[in-house]
Amino acid sequence: MKTSAPNTAQHESKDARSVWLAYACLALAIALPLASLYFLFHDWPNALLAAFAGTASLSQVASLQSLGTVRSIVVVALALVPVALMALSLWHAHLCFIRFSYREYFSRETVLRMRKFALAMFLAAIACTVVPSLISVALTVGGPQKASLVVSIGTQHLILFLFAGVVWQLASVLAKAAALAEENAQFV
């Protein structure tokens, strides 16, 4: 979907706080996947064990160094799914804050970006809940013991779900406000 650039002729000055937040989100959207890749490959397999502590017993993952290439790729790809979704949500937050910086609070594009931010955040929360379980299976299948499936939901996951829901609801309110602003603009 093609997005339109904010109308700069209507706005004399940018909102500095929104500009700062936009570029902070962009920096995090770039840094998060790069940092994750660095730590996964720099200290393989200890970085993976630290990131997913508790997903499988130590005896089952003691042979991480001897994982086959295909299983290693699967485990790394799975580990990067929540990171990629979080980076995507930060990208949409960046685009939303760019709109805010031009003081476009009630445009359809702003609402669309806010909804995409909330959706990506919600999917990241699901991935953060499901991926460690999938990794525990991938690490323990074919190991010395039976494969194990560990499911864990922590408060950080619940907070992420709640935050995504709040942002989605704010986007719905903003959509109604945008419709009212559009309707009022037709009367003037």
* pLDDT given at position 24: 97
Q: What is the pLDDT of residue 59?
A: 47
pLDDT at 112: 92
The whole-model pTM stands at 0.78
Residues of the chain with pLDDT under 50: 1, 9, 11, 56-59, 62
CA–CA dist 12, 97 (Å, integer): 17
pLDDT of residue 45: 62
Burial class (CB in 10 A: 0-12, 13-18, 19+), 58: exposed
